[in-house]
Copies of this chain bind each other. A is one copy, B any other.
Amino acid sequence: MFTHSEENYLKTIYHLELDSKKGISTNAIAKSLATKASSVTDMVKKLSEKEVVVYKKYKGVTLTAFGKKTAANIVRKHRLWEVFLVEKLNFSWDEVHEVAEQLEHIKSPKLINQLDAFLSFPTHDPHGDPIPDKDGNLKTIEKSLLSTLQKNESGICVGVDDSSSEFLQFLDKKGIVLGKKIAVLEKEEFDDSLLIVIEDKKLSISNKIANNLYIKK
């Protein structure tokens, strides 16, 4: 069994490993968890004793297979709870993160399996992120940033890179919703802004926005 805090470290390392492949530095972990590198060193030693990470002084950490599975299970719980909150309890997608952050630590295999079934085995959370299966595997669909689309190309909006409530509320305001088709009418050379059409409405969106929206071609 893992403590609340150990689980948070595992989850963080898991996320950091997804886009780096190399050993994760204590500094990177500290930044993600808003803690100090010295605290990370302490915890990482403990995690390495528990065989969930491999740690060599000054060389960063990597998850073991066991660690990866454990971490994926926490992410699984987090994302299933997010689906529950949105689908069943009428939360909006910008409100679910903090609550799921707490719910992900509830320990009960039956609970999470029943929840999964109750939600009809969802594959993605409200932000379009994939939900790991019971074995910790996640099938990643190939998605692209909206900013990579060229003029007259289009795709289905399938996810966000930034899940901050500010960004999500901005998308709500603009009527940008997951599952909808987005077509690029114009691409401005000058600032890489896009003129898009979604649900028959034309919108001009900045490159910053387009860099945080995933579409499936």
Contact = CB atoms under 8 A, between A and B. Distances in A.
Interface of A: 85, 88-91, 95, 98-99, 102-103, 106-108, 110-111, 114-115, 118
Nearest to A103: B106
A88 B115 CA distance: 9
20 contacts: A85-B111, A88-B118, A89-B111, A89-B114, A89-B115, A89-B118, A90-B114, A91-B110, A91-B114, A95-B110, A98-B108, A99-B106, A99-B108, A99-B110, A99-B111, A102-B106, A102-B107, A102-B108, A103-B106, A106-B106
Please indicate which of the listed interface residues A85, A89, A95, A99 has the most CB atoms of chain B within 10 Å of its own CB: A89
A98 B114 CA distance: 16
Contacts of A85: 111
Minimum-distance CB pairs A-B, first 5? A89-B114, A99-B108, A102-B106, A99-B111, A89-B118
Contacts of A111: 85, 89, 99
A193 to B, nearest CB: 36
A111 B108 CA distance: 19
A138 to B, nearest CB: 24
A88 B87 CA distance: 14
A189 B141 CA distance: 73
Contacts of A118: 88-89
Please indicate which of the listed interface residues A107, A111, A118 has the most CB atoms of chain B within 10 Å of its own CB: A111
A96 to B, nearest CB: 10
Given A90-B114, A98-B108, A99-B108, 17 more contacts: A85-B111, A88-B118, A89-B111, A89-B114, A89-B115, A89-B118, A91-B110, A91-B114, A95-B110, A99-B106, A99-B110, A99-B111, A102-B106, A102-B107, A102-B108, A103-B106, A106-B106
Contacts of A90: 114
Contacts of A114: 89-91
